[in-house]
Structure 1
Amino acid sequence: MSAFNKMLVAIDLTEEAPQVLNKAKAMSEAHNAELLLVHVVEPVGYAYGGDIPMDLTELQDQLDKAAHEQLESYGNQYGVPKDQQMVTVGRPESEIHRIAKEQGVDLIVVGSHGRKGFQLLLGSTANGVLHGTECDVLAVRIN
């Protein structure tokens, strides 16, 4: 029996995503594990702190639509079925924890820039995912 049966790979849809996806795909194949592909869209209001007195619904919908399209493209490229691709809105760490728990995930794979010093104090998604999850986390170093 493999140590990992279900893996969640959380990507940010940047040009660095393939580095994380390549590692996650290799791990899932090595363990014959199911792979879930997840992207979390942060609410537009977070970026502005709610200080803009306007309806940002249309912008949020556009971001959500673009995320679905990009994730589907990665899913097709890496052989992840549509029903195992998820786009959600919220705080990345919280949403990744929630989905991992709901889906019974054994391993979360995230990218990490390997920040040091003061930047580390500010935190990162990878650090947030690591501290608070109930399963193993693999942080893939982004070059």
Structure 2
Amino acid sequence: MRLQKVNEMANYKRILTAIDLSDEADAVLTRAIAMAASDNAELHLVHVVEPLNLAYGGDIPMDFSSVQEQLQTQAEEALQQYAARANIPAEHYHLLSGRPDSQVHELSESIAADLIIVGSHGRKGLALLLGSTANAVLHGASCDVLAVRVGQEE
């Protein structure tokens, strides 16, 4: 294959960046902004709020609705701030609820993303065996996935 064809294949048109709204999200978003700028790509941002009943297996006989509403509101405000810093228009940032990996997959399909960018911690021991959201996104994606290494100790 000629080098020109390889370079043409490397240009992304629509990039979906999944962030967790932690301090490490800045590193992921910075990489996404740079990738989008170099390819002149459309950049989308997504955060998925996992319902508390999923996180706790649904076995706790409590009503989490008010806590869930607070989490949703806080996530919406934080996502808007990230989007504003990156000059991402409102129609290109998405706050979803559900299992993060499946929601990222569905959104990437619906917007026809050709690259998904996620943050990835260096997993060791039990965390490696249990997997991660980044791993789940990677293995279910129908497009390229870039895992940005975050949280590395110096």
TM-score, L = length of structure 2: 0.89
One of 45, 48, 65 as aligned partner of 2:53: 45
Q: Does 1:67 align with 2:56?
A: no
Calculate percent identity across the aligned residue pairs.
Answer: 52
Once the two structures are TM-superposed, the CA of residue 117 in structure 1 deviates from its matched residue by: 4.0
Q: Distance in 2 between matches of 1:136 and 1:9?
A: 12
Alignment of 1:82-97 (within 5 A): 82-97=90-105
Note the alpha carbon deviations across 1:39-59, whole angstroms, 9 max, x for none: 000001122222222221111
Q: Which runs of 5+ in 1 are unaligned?
A: none
1:22 offset after TM fit, Å?
0.3
Give the AA of the match of 2:61.
P
Aligned residue among 30, 33, 37 for 2:38: 30
Cα deviation code 1:77-136 (max 9, x no counterpart)? 111111111000000000000000011000000000121343211100110000011000
Q: Distance in 1 between matches of 2:12 and 2:149?
A: 20
Structure 2: gaps (5+ residues): 1-7
Aligned CA RMSD, in angstroms, stands at 1.2
TM-score w.r.t. structure 1 length?
0.95
Q: Which has the larger radius of gyration?
A: 2
- The CA deviation at 1:3 is 2.2
- In structure 2, C-alpha distance between the alignment counterparts of 1:119 and 1:73, rounded to whole Å: 30
